[in-house]
Amino acid sequence: MVAVLGFKNLTGHPEAAWLSTALAEMLSTELAAGGQLLILPGEAVARARADLALPESDSFSGETLGRIRRRLGCGFVLTGSYLVGRPRAGAVSLRLDLRLQDVARGSTIEANAQEGTEAELTTLVVRSGQVLRARLGATAPSPRARAGSVGALPTHTDAAR
């Protein structure tokens, strides 16, 4: 069971804040593809974040992970950060730094970085999902499940926003 806790906006610009929610939703959809991983509902995660007064962070200490485990009953949390660069040649650069943490051990078991442009957001999410799914021991989804999960992801950043 995985809780997607959200992503820290390293840019600090309010106009990039939408990415935290978009990434959480898109990665939840991507990881759930194929039905091998149970992803906690966003509402349950949001309530736990508020109840535990979790700060916006790109990773959590062992103690905090223990509190999350007791509250949500999950085995892993996915969190991280993103950085939006200045537009160059009509493209806005985007870097995703994701951390998959084992709540029982209190450690990071996967740190993954993906770079591209804001327009490639869906591609970055799919690539990240492949790495994370493999690290969690889940096989790649069937072509039919893959088509369904990719079809559920927005094709344009305006739709994700």
Query: CA-to-CA distance for 127 and 143, rounded, in angstroms?
Result: 15
Q: What tokens appear for 32 in the block?
A: 């759930």
With a cut of 60, say whether residue 143 has pLDDT above it: yes
Percentage above 90 pLDDT, the chain: 71
Query: Would you report the helix, strand and coil content of the chain in percent, each value rounded to 5?
Result: 45, 30, 30
Query: CA-to-CA distance for 16 and 61, rounded, in angstroms?
Result: 26
Taking all residues of the chain, what is their mean pLDDT, rounded to a whole number?
A: 88
CB 98 within 8 A of CB 33: no
Q: pLDDT digit string (tens) for 32-56?
A: 988 999 999 999 999 999 999 999 8
pLDDT for residue 157: 52
pTM score of the predicted model: 0.84
For the residues 106-134, what does the mean pLDDT come to? Answer: 93
Percentage above 70 pLDDT, the chain: 88
